[in-house]
Structure 1
C-alpha cells in the first residue's frame, strides 16, 4: 500500500506533465469537436489502457529493458513517431473537403473502437509515458512493500488524474458548442490537431 503522502506527491509531480498538451488532448479536442462529447469516453479509456500497459511493463521489467537498450528504445520511439505523424496526416486530410469520400470521412471518427485505438496507440507507443514509470514512479515506492501493488496504485492515481483533466477539457469544449459546430471551426480544429500530432511525432523522433 502506497502512503497517501506518496500518492499526493506523485500527483503533484505529474501535474506539469499532464498539463502539457499532448496527443491525448489533441485527439480529445478533435473528436469531441467533430462528433460530440460521447467521443471523450473512448479517448479517455484508450489513454488509461495505455497507462496500465506501461505500468504492467514496468512491473515485468520490460520497460527497463527497452530503456536500457538504445536499439530497442530507438525502435519504440520511431514507431510511436511514425504513428503520430501518420495520424496527423490522416486528420489533416479528413478535414480537407473532397480529400476523401464524404461518407467515409464522416463515419470513421464516430466509431468508438477507432477513437479508442487511436488514443491507446498514441499513449502506449510513447516512450516518454514509459519513462514516467521508470524514473518518476520509483521515487514514490517503498522498497519493503509490494512492488507491483504500489505501481498499480500509482497508475490508478495517474489514470484518475488524467481522466479528470480530459473530462474538464470536454466540459470546456462543449460549453462552446455553437462555435464548435461551425464547419469552418471544425476544419481549423482538425488542422490544428494534425499539426500538433505531427509536431509531437517529429519531437519524439528527434529526442
Structure 2
C-alpha cells in the first residue's frame, strides 16, 4: 500500500506536466473538435501499454538472469531520473501552443498517437527507469508488479491527456504568453523526479 501511495501521486504529477504528448493532444483538440484530442490521448495510451509490455519482458528476463543486474538497472534508472529532473528544472519555461492540426478522422489520429508514443525512445527509457523504482522484491513476482505499475501509469496518463483534450480551448492562455502554468508544472515535475532518484540512491542495500 505504501508503494501505491507514492506511485499514484507521482504518476499524476508527471502526467499533468505539459510535454510533447500533451502538445500533440492539444494540437488535435484545437484542430476541430475535442474528439480529435480524445482519439490522440487514446492512441498514446495504447502506446504506453506497449512500452509497459516491453519493460516487463525485458526487466523480467534480467531478473531471471541476475538479481544484481536488476539492482544495477534500478540505480541507473535513478540516475536517469535525476538527470531528467535537473533538465526539467533548468529548462522549465512557457510552452507555445502548437498549431492546430488539420481536421482528420478519429482512426487516423489514433494511429498517429500510437506511432508518436511507440517510436519515441525517450518514452521507452522512461518506463525502464521509472517502473523499477517501485518494485518491492519481497512483495511477490516482479513481472506482475511491473505490469500493474505500468497499467496504472497508463491509466493516469490517458486520463490526464484526455483532460487536456477536453480543456484545450480554455488552456490557451495558460500554456502560452507568460507561461506561468507550464513553468510551475515543469519545476514541480523536476523536483519530483529528483526526489524519486534520490530516494533510491540513498536506500540501503
What range describes the TM-score normalised by the shorter chain of this pair? 0.5 to 0.7
From 113, 126, 151, the counterpart of 2:143 = 151
Unaligned runs of 5+ in 1: 1-9, 97-101, 142-149
What pairs with 1:1-207 in structure 2 (closer than 5 Å)?
Answer: 14=4, 17-20=7-10, 21-27=12-18, 30-31=22-23, 34-35=26-27, 36=29, 37=37, 38-41=39-42, 43-45=44-46, 47-56=48-57, 57-61=59-63, 64-66=67-69, 68-69=71-72, 73-87=74-88, 89-90=90-91, 92=93, 95=95, 117=120, 118-126=122-130, 129-133=131-135, 135=136, 139-141=139-141, 151=143, 155-180=146-171, 182-186=172-176, 187-207=179-199
CA change 1:172–1:106 in 2 (3 A) is closer
More helix by share: 1
Q: CA deviation at 1:191?
A: 1.7
Q: TM-score by structure 2 length?
A: 0.56
Q: CA deviation at 1:203?
A: 1.6
Equivalent-residue separation in structure 1 for 2:156 and 2:149 (angstroms) = 11
CA change 1:85–1:114 in 2 (3 A) is farther
The answer to whether the 8 Å contact 1:85/1:202 transfers is yes
Q: CA deviation at 1:90?
A: 4.8
Equivalent-residue separation in structure 2 for 1:170 and 1:47 (angstroms) = 12
Equivalent residues, number: 171
Q: Deviations over 1:120-174 (max 9, x none)?
A: 3332222xx21434x16x6344xxxxxxxx936x655544443333333334333
Q: CA deviation at 1:199?
A: 1.2
CA change 1:164–1:203 in 2 (3 A) is closer
Unaligned runs of 5+ in 2: 30-36, 101-111, 200-205
